[in-house]
Amino acid sequence: MKKTIIALFGLLPLTLLAQVDRSKAPQPGPAPAIRIGQPATFTLPNGLKVFVVENTKLPRVSATLSFNMDGIVEGQKAGLTSMGGELLRRGTVKMNKAQLDEAIDQLGGNIGTSAFSASASSLKANFPKLISLLSDVVLRPSFSATELEKIRRQELSGLQAAKDDPNSIADNVTNRLLYGKDHPYGDIETEETVSNVKVGDIKNFFSTYWKPNNAYLVFVGDITAADAKKLSAQYFGAWKSGVVPRPTYKTPQAPAKTFVAVVDRPASVQSVINFAAPVELKPGAPDVIPASVMNNILGGGFSGRLFANLREKHGFTYGAYSGLKSDRLVGAFTAEASVRNEKTDSAIAEFINEFNRIRTEAVPTDEESRMKNYLSGQFARSLENPATIAGFALNIAKYNLPKDYYQNYLKTLAAVSPTDVQAMAKKYVNPGNMLVVVVGNAKEIAKGLDKYGPVKSYNVYGQEVPAPTAKTVDASVTPQTILQKAIDAYGGASAIAAVKDLSMTGSASVQGMNINVTQKQIVPTAFVQEVSMQGMVLEKKLLKNGQYSQSGQGGAKPVDEKDKEEMNENAAFIPEVYMLAQKGYQFAVKGIEPVEGKDAYAVQVKTPAGREYTNFYDVATGLLVKKTTTQEGPQGTMTISSLVGNYKNVNGVNIPMKIVNDMGMMKIEINFNDVKVNSGLKAEDIK
Amino acid sequence: MKKWFLLFSAGVLSIASNAQARKINFEKYTLTNGLTVILHRDTTAPVVAVTTLYHVGSKNEDTARTGFAHFFEHLLFEGSDNIKRGEFDKYVTNAGGALNANTSQDRTFYYELLPSNQLKLGLWLESERMMHAKIEQVGVNTQREVVKEEKRQRMDNQPYGSFLVEMLKRAFKEHPYRWAPIGSMEHLNAAKLDEFIDFYKTFYVPNNAVLSIAGDINIADTKKLVEDYFVAIPKGTKAIPRPTVTEPPLGGEVRATIEDNIQLPAVIAAYRAPKQGSDEYYAFRLLSTILSGGPSSRMNKILVDQKQMALQAAAIPFFNEDAGLFISLAIANMGVKPEALESAIDSVVSDLKTKPVSESEFQKVKNQIETQFVSSNATMAGIAESLANYEVYFGDANLINTELARYQKVTREDLLNVAKKYLNKDNRVVLYYVPKGKKEGAM
């Protein structure tokens, strides 16, 4: 009856239809029933557990093989699993990489691998052929040494970038300090460990851990359980089972008292702050759902409290977040932000304020229910992807969860109360027992950090190092004595004066591209320096016949007094000679600082033309080891530093053969390979 | 779930019959105000995609006011009579949903992805936007800055980011396709509030829109709700401008060198091509897959792997309502001159004109296309968008079920013919992208 009435209303003129209240957002309908299917499961005689999530919506199928393991301690071979995972996809005993690519494309499919999984997907019709290729990849890989070297080159260049990236540094140091070097989560990759990885290690890894009785094979898509069974038996049935080692690890403990780990990165204009503590929170534990509500309120995203406080209210950062990870070995609570140098101390204080607030104040009901709405919606939307269902099934099997764990997820979520949220905060957010890793310019940010706990210094590999403390400079040491000692260390005034001309060539690599540097000079009046890439001149500076010029990629650039002065310093061959001889240079000794682990005097220089830079001279040898200048960049002031080293004696004068320019985001290492002194350069050679 | 058990116990053993895409059922109707509504029901997951496609893109813009359609993509999130400024997206995130929009030369597409019990919220938001969006100076000013930032980030600051703009203005001389959706910042600066209001009243009207909804919905209830929220929105009264220009032939190869903040040169060529939906268009889609679909495709194999002349290479079919472009793009490896790269690409392209594609390669690209086509209907958002596109461009939403047959109709001979007819020097624009200051050296 009711239906007819509604239908009749539909026919009435428009004016009568204004029955929706547009003035406010409509209320959601009743929560939708969540139907999460139980996948078909079976186990092959060799122990391979197979799950089938049949979904006939689209005629496509995927198969994903994964392993019941938590990673391994890679130690001196860190990088083994990431490189091994890639190598697996680069050829089988039947096909090299190109042939394998062709075969997969021919089927309109995809195959991907890692050290802990392998997957294949295609349309249903081609799937039997594709899974046969997957089985070749998994069971009969070629592990080509040539391909491994290609992967190693990529890995090393990636590592080069990561070494300078403050976020990677923060992650590495946090993991190492949180889990320790004897835990799978505490590994750090270095050039050395990546170079240590051999084909044999990779083969050994796969033959040890990739056993069917340690694996799950999950089919998702338009495939029946019977077909999946047939395919798994055909292609993975002959896979031999075996004993898989199950190493156990000491459970990492939270620090007895919060401490601050500072990693000095002098080029930083922002500090990366990572709070972390290990927590005991296993997947599927009763705390997981209420604790996730708590974490999302605290710092789950744009609507979290950390974001509102540190970004919206204080403007310290572009974003501040927290995370709570459940894990079978050990979970973790984390919180992080990148903040302007001068706000490092205040930002840490605000983090701790928010940690304390969520522990001590009841969460307002509307804030709590908004978050639960958000999480329910996300959960519901995630179900659109059939792989989500497969993931649920896998978790249930791997972690021994109740069969209806995900079916009840929304119900459990709805039952979370503000009191629960507070209890979870008290349990998992403990500002008194945390590790606070700060990667930044230690000299600028360290002050005040000791109020949060003891402050210790670490290098990028998570090893404790002496704090960059200020050492006192002996009263007898003046800028002049330092510069004079440098001149003596280069070879002495007379050896320097004997250098009439000089030519040097060197090369550098920037993002895989080769750059050439050439320098020629007739001391002290003619000088040319050219930086080029494949014959294209990137930068050129020329001093000749009293004329100064410079050009860049955009053509000629104007030359000001500062540029002229810099060219004069260089043309003098040994700038210290020029600096001491010219009037108007001002010097100040700013202390002793470590450069590459060795003490160096920092001499601040103010030039007559108004340039400012700091030179660092090795206390022991007297040689120049580093130079820093500051520049205005898009993110504020940026420090550019150049490490100078690898001195080589040429005609009685020590000349640096290596310069490493560090511009924060990018490091360029220039190596000079050809140096000639007094080769009889003529004025016309300087051009 | 019962179904799975049934299938399992019945032991259905027919392996891999030929892939047959499942039919996507939908209902299509038009409200009295001209709004086209398409509804697709799929109860697999408790989600719904609520989308609105407005048949307005950059080609509908005034030549002195380019960038308007894309600007509206931003402006129409500003709020409405009943939605306060800045609240639009909060309603969606608080419901656990996601939203966004995009603009092409032909249309603008807005969407909300929501849990299915929030269908009403999606309808309310979309109807508010269509009925009485807030077009105010404050919102115009805010979004103008956002759009400028977007242009800086996505075009000016992005290596090769200006290529579409540079390509379009050379590939078309008459048709409004000669400018890209991002348009001109000067035009946006010069535009008065009245002009924005006028644009809104012209294009963002029910009779120029398709409301496409896919997900776990009850069709009858949804129809009722759509009626409730949308029928009161008045039909547009202004004529909707649509370009009628016929673009004359290119009349000879056009070449230019662009300096950009890049380190590696790039060679980009665009061949004039027919509009989307023609038989030749489907042949072009196959050609682009032959050239760059997957690691074993010709450009990847020859230019990237074997000759190592290109760092990356791709063929992009850029087809629109009134005309198309077939674009090939390659970034040179270290030390490779653009001239050398161009001739290597030309030789790959010229092969398409002289040698028929082998039976096996032909089958490979058809397989790849089929996988792609089937996968595009994997999500409710994908289905809702495809239905709306097919309806607006071809007047046939059912192409979602039948379009694959158009690809299957293409023969190897068709590929040869299309390549011979279009992939010629006098029918193309070639751009060299070179590092700043290197214009002379590179040529």
Element (H, E) at A346: helix A344-360
A19 band by pLDDT with thresholds 50, 70 and 90 = low
Task: Tell me, yes or no, if the two domains A40-175+187-236 and A479-685 fold the same way.
Answer: no
Answer yes or no: do B120 and A60 touch at CB < 8 A.
Answer: no
Domain boundaries, chain A: 40-175+187-236, 259-465, 479-685
Cβ-based burial of A230 (10 A; exposed 0-12, middle 13-18, buried ≥19): middle
Structure tokens at B294: 């997957």
Contact A457, A465 (CB under 8 A): yes
Confidence (pLDDT) at A654: 93
Distance CA B185, CA B194 (A): 18
In-domain check, residue B1: no
Nearest CA in chain A to B259: A554
Nearest CA to B397 among B407, B410, B384?
A: B384
Contact A527, A686 (CB under 8 A): yes
Answer yes or no: do B22 and A56 touch at CB < 8 A.
Answer: yes
Mean pLDDT, chain B, as a whole number?
90
Contact A275, A335 (CB under 8 A): yes
From the list B18, B121, B128, the residue facing A125 with the nearest CB is B18
Superfamily classification of domain A479-685: Lipoprotein localisation LolA/LolB/LppX (2.50.20.10)
Nearest CA to A672 among A493, A506, A471?
A: A506
Distance CA B102, CA B109 (A): 5
A15 band by pLDDT with thresholds 50, 70 and 90 = very low
B146 & B42 share domain: yes
Answer yes or no: do A105 and B296 touch at CB < 8 A.
Answer: yes
CA distances from B334 to A76, A154, B10, B314, B337 (A): 34, 16, 60, 18, 9
Compare A539 and B82 and report the one with higher pLDDT: B82
DSSP state of B291: H
Answer yes or no: do A26 and B120 touch at CB < 8 A.
Answer: yes
The stretches of B279-330 forming alpha helices (DSSP H) are: 279-292, 298
The C-alpha torsion from A43 through A49 and A52 to A53, rounded to 10°, is 140
Neighbours of A560 (CB within 10 A): 11
* B236 has pLDDT over 80: yes
Compare A538 and B273 and report the one with higher pLDDT: B273
Structure tokens at A631: 């520049």
* B3 has pLDDT over 80: no
Three-class SS state of A334: strand
Average pLDDT over residues A252-278: 92
Contact A36, A391 (CB under 8 A): no
Helices H, strands E: what count in chain B? 17, 11
Compare A166 and B263 and report the one with higher pLDDT: A166
Amino acid at site A685: D
Element (H, E) at B419: helix B412-422
B264 & B226 share domain: no
CA distances from A167 to A440, B71, B199 (A): 10, 35, 46
Place of tokens 């289905």: B383
pLDDT (tens digit per residue) in B122-150: 999 999 999 999 999 998 998 888 888 78
B113 & B262 share domain: no
From the list A10, A32, A231, the residue facing B115 with the nearest CB is A32
Please list every residue in chain A whose beta carbon sits closer than 8 Å to the beta carbon of residue B114: 377, 381
A647 band by pLDDT with thresholds 50, 70 and 90 = very high
Nearest CA in chain A to B14: A227
Contact B372, B317 (CB under 8 A): no
B214 & B295 share domain: no
Average pLDDT over residues B380-393: 96
B108 & B226 share domain: yes
Mean pLDDT, chain A, as a whole number?
89
Sheet holding A331-340, edge to edge: A317-325, A331-340, A270-279, A435-440, A259-264, A455-458, A464-465
Structure tokens at A188: 């750090």
B177 & B286 share domain: no
Structure tokens at A442: 């230690």
Q: Cα A124 from chain centroid?
A: 38
Confidence (pLDDT) at B15: 28
pLDDT (tens digit per residue) in A173-216: 999 999 999 999 999 999 999 999 999 999 999 999 999 999 99
* B16 has pLDDT over 80: no
Nearest CA distance, B251 vs chain A (angstrom): 34
Average pLDDT over residues A577-606: 89
Provide CB contacts within 8 A for A398, sequence distance 6+.
A68, A216, A283, A328
Answer yes or no: do B118 and A55 touch at CB < 8 A.
Answer: no
The stretches of B243-377 forming alpha helices (DSSP H) are: 279-292, 298, 338-354, 359-375
Superfamily classification of domain A259-465: Metalloenzyme, LuxS/M16 peptidase-like (3.30.830.10)
Nearest CA in chain A to B115: A377
In-domain check, residue B192: yes
Distance CA A137, CA B141 (A): 56
CA distances from B28 to B112, B113, B391 (A): 20, 20, 9
* A18 has pLDDT over 90: no
In-domain check, residue B76: yes
Contact B59, B241 (CB under 8 A): no
* B19 has pLDDT over 70: no
In-domain check, residue B125: yes
Average pLDDT over residues B232-241: 96
- Top residue of A95, A157, A381, A383 to mutate, by most chain B CBs within 10 Å, is A381
A511 band by pLDDT with thresholds 50, 70 and 90 = low
Answer yes or no: do B82 and A40 touch at CB < 8 A.
Answer: no
Domain count, chain B: 2
Amino acid at site B146: V
Nearest CA distance, B232 vs chain A (angstrom): 7
* B161 has pLDDT over 50: yes
Average pLDDT over residues A490-496: 91
Confidence (pLDDT) at A443: 84
Answer yes or no: do B46 and A33 touch at CB < 8 A.
Answer: yes
DSSP state of A371: H
Complex confidence, ipTM? 0.81
Nearest CA in chain A to B121: A26
pLDDT (tens digit per residue) in A407-416: 899 899 999 9
Distance CA A93, CA A530 (A): 50
Q: What percent of chain A has pLDDT over 70?
A: 94
* B78 has pLDDT over 60: yes
Q: What percent of chain A has pLDDT over 90?
A: 64
B224 & B258 share domain: no
In-domain check, residue B5: no
pLDDT (tens digit per residue) in B262-288: 778 899 999 999 999 999 999 999 999
Answer yes or no: do A58 and B232 touch at CB < 8 A.
Answer: no
In-domain check, residue B8: no
Q: What are the residues facing A604 on neighbouring strands? A: A588, A614
Average pLDDT over residues B60-76: 96
Provide CB contacts within 8 A for A50, sequence distance 6+.
A41, A42, A43, A44, A216, A217, A218, A219, A228, A229, A232
**C-beta pairs of B139-146 under 8 Å, 24+ apart in sequence:** B139/B75, B139/B78, B139/B79, B139/B85, B140/B75, B140/B193, B140/B196, B142/B78, B143/B71, B143/B74, B143/B75, B143/B78, B144/B71, B144/B188, B144/B189, B146/B74
CA B30-B36-B41 angle, 5° bins: 95
Distance CA B402, CA B396 (A): 10
Distance CA A143, CA A205 (A): 12
Please list every residue in chain B whose beta carbon sits closer than 8 Å to the beta carbon of residue A535: 441
Contact A638, A631 (CB under 8 A): yes
Nearest CA to A660 among A672, A674, A673?
A: A672
Report the sign of the C-alpha dihedral through residues B254, B257, B261, B266, in that order: positive
A685 band by pLDDT with thresholds 50, 70 and 90 = confident
pLDDT (tens digit per residue) in A365-376: 989 988 998 898
B303 & B356 share domain: yes
Distance CA B57, CA A50 (A): 49
B204 & B307 share domain: no
Architecture of domain A40-175+187-236: 2-Layer Sandwich (3.30)
Contact B304, A483 (CB under 8 A): no
B285 & B427 share domain: yes
Average pLDDT over residues B58-76: 96
Domain that holds residue B159: 27-230
Nearest CA distance, B147 vs chain A (angstrom): 19
Please list every residue in chain B whose beta carbon sits closer than 8 Å to the beta carbon of residue A126: 19, 367
Structure tokens at A310: 């540190």
CA A166-A643-A618 angle, 5° bins: 120
Structure tokens at A233: 């038996």
CA distances from A628 to A266, A560, A612, A644, B429 (A): 10, 21, 9, 11, 48
Confidence (pLDDT) at A10: 37
In-domain check, residue B18: no
B266 & B392 share domain: yes
Contact A646, A656 (CB under 8 A): yes
Place of tokens 């069971």: A139
Confidence (pLDDT) at B365: 95
In-domain check, residue B249: no
Nearest CA distance, A257 vs chain B (angstrom): 38
Domain with B186 in it: what CATH number? 3.30.830.10
Question: Of B194, B214, B230, at which residue does a domain stop?
Answer: B230
From the list B22, B94, B127, the residue facing A58 with the nearest CB is B22
A32 band by pLDDT with thresholds 50, 70 and 90 = confident
pLDDT (tens digit per residue) in A388-444: 988 999 999 999 999 899 989 989 999 999 999 999 999 999 999 999 999 998 988
Provide CB contacts within 8 A for A628, sequence distance 6+.
A266, A613, A614, A616, A639, A640, A641, A642
Average pLDDT over residues B330-354: 93
B94 & B213 share domain: yes
